[in-house]
Amino acid sequence: MNRVHIKTYGCQMNERDSEAVAAMLRARGYRIVSDENDCDILLLNTCSVRDAAEQKAIGKAGYLQQRKKRQPDFVLGILGCMAQNRGASLLEQLPDLDLIIGTQKFHQVPGHLDNLRAARESGVPVGETIVDIAEEAGSQNTIRDHTEAGEGEERKVTAFVSIQQGCDMDCSFCIVPKTRGDERSRPMDDIVAECRGLAERGVREITLLGQIVTSYGRRDVARPEGISPFVQLLERVHEIDGIARIRFTSPHPRGFKPDLVAAYGRLPKLCPYVHLPMQSGSDRILRAMNRPYTRDRYRAIVDSLRAVNPAMHFSTDVIVGFPGETEEDFAQTRELFSACDFDMAYIFKYSIRTGTPAETMPDQVPEEVKEARNRELLGILETNSLRRTATLIGTEEEVLVEGRDRGGSRFTGRTRGNRVCIFDADPRLVGELVPLLIERASVSTLYGRLVLAGVEA
């Protein structure tokens, strides 16, 4: 009983957490399998940002409970944000869960599974569901292990590195401070050592992760010459031989002080791509959201980054239908959204999260209004994205070859601006930075052919 499948919902932070759990389990002798039908243990790493995400995971877990009737030794666990948010109350809907593990306890998963296995192998009744959601000092330092490529798999050339967890922002719509806790940063030397180790294993691109990644070390690290701890970290990762590209997510607009903006002009490895959550283009709604910036300040950040690099690419998050959002508020959001000319956006219809201030705000917006506003922004995004990708046709873009595409017959990689590319290549090019002649483009994907040493590949 040692075959484990981990299914991940939600953000890149969740993906990184799942990767760390998988690495810890492999070190303990467990096998990580890609097919959930082949596993003895199935772990759902969950998201709570929107109600729909929670309901999707609950539905999946409910379906999997039926498997336990056929396989009494099958182990089912829920990890992550929903586990932290709901805790033991999940058992009201899912009474057959074996594990409920919160966001600060991922490193305890191997030990809990060892105990379950030992009990079952000895014939001892397992007893009550294991619920472990307490806060734990230093838990941010446990997400440091990375999975090795399995037999027959191409080596990993990109990696997520967790540098900071938790959030102190208290946005009125957001449950993350409850599910992830207060801001906690890892020691800079530990992060740099992790990145150096990844480079030695052939990783070429690092993405630094945090709930508010630009808040890294703000309470713990000195600021020589006014350089923020986060920019200091970027500088140190930039010095690592073998690392060719650096990205980060998810920042907050307040983190884009002059030192970070200037870094895009002096750190060549820092990719010209920024995910910059906007949420709303209305100052009135931003205040209601408890977002400490204005529409003018947001636009100034975008303009300052494009001044440093006119080829800068942007993505964003927007919430439509926040309580009290009027047609005028939405018109201001629409105007700012169009003006910023985003390459990509995650547009969400406001979803009530129990326990947040926005839950009880008056003037909740009808679902059909949210849907109409959502569609309108998606239409603008499609127009902008097509226009932006069309300008790349006929140009050569630097692409990091990451591996085979989902179909397995071609290869995939990303431009420095984070555009996905599909092309033909030789497997020996995985991990290489190559020029790609862009021949056609869709809303989100570029297609082209490699140009190597003046010879088309």
CATH code, domain carrying 47: 3.40.50.12160
Where residue 248 sits, what CATH number does that domain have?
3.80.30.20
| Same domain membership, residue 350 and residue 314 | yes
CA angle, 20 as apex, 15 and 22 as ends, to 5°?
A: 95
| Same domain membership, residue 446 and residue 415 | yes
Least confident range of 30-39, 214-223, 426-435, 439-448? 214-223
Where residue 432 sits, what CATH number does that domain have?
2.40.50.140
- Domain containing 192 equals 139-390
Is residue 153 predicted with pLDDT exceeding 80?
no
Among 132, 158, 190, the domain boundary falls at 132
pLDDT at 220: 85
Among 348, 366, 390, the domain boundary falls at 390
Phi, psi dihedral angles at 105 (to 5 degrees): -130, 20
* Ramachandran class of 55: left when φ > 0, alpha when ψ lies in -120 to 50, beta otherwise: alpha
Q: 439 and 423 in contact (C-beta within 8 Å)?
A: no
| Same domain membership, residue 326 and residue 181 | yes
| Same domain membership, residue 269 and residue 377 | yes
Q: Of the candidates 237, 331, 246, which has an alpha carbon nearest to the alpha carbon of residue 280?
A: 331
Alpha-carbon gap, residue 26 to 147, rounded angstroms = 8
Task: Enter the pTM of the model.
Answer: 0.90
pLDDT at 455: 46
| Same domain membership, residue 202 and residue 250 | yes
Is residue 304 predicted with pLDDT exceeding 80?
yes
Longest dimension (CA), the chain: 68
Burial label for 290, CB within 10 Å (0-12, 13-18, 19+), is: middle
Q: Looking at the 3D structure of the chain, how many domains does it have?
A: 3
| Same domain membership, residue 422 and residue 386 | no
Alpha-carbon gap, residue 208 to 247, rounded angstroms = 6
| Same domain membership, residue 290 and residue 216 | yes
| Confidence tier at 288 by pLDDT (50, 70, 90) | very high
| Same domain membership, residue 342 and residue 256 | yes
Per-residue model confidence as pLDDT tens digits over 354-403? 889 999 999 999 999 999 999 999 999 999 999 989 999 999 999 999 99
| Same domain membership, residue 224 and residue 367 | yes
pLDDT at 140: 86
Among 356, 390, 424, the domain boundary falls at 390
Is residue 150 predicted with pLDDT exceeding 80?
no
| Same domain membership, residue 163 and residue 38 | no
Per-residue model confidence as pLDDT tens digits over 413-455? 999 999 999 999 999 999 999 999 999 999 889 999 999 754 4
Q: 171 and 278 in contact (C-beta within 8 Å)?
A: no
Whole-Å CA distances, 251 to 219, 276, 315: 17, 6, 11
Strand partners, 32: 4
| Same domain membership, residue 164 and residue 206 | yes
- Cα 221 to chain centroid distance, Å, stands at 25
Q: Which helix (H) or strand (E) holds 359?
A: none
| Same domain membership, residue 373 and residue 228 | yes
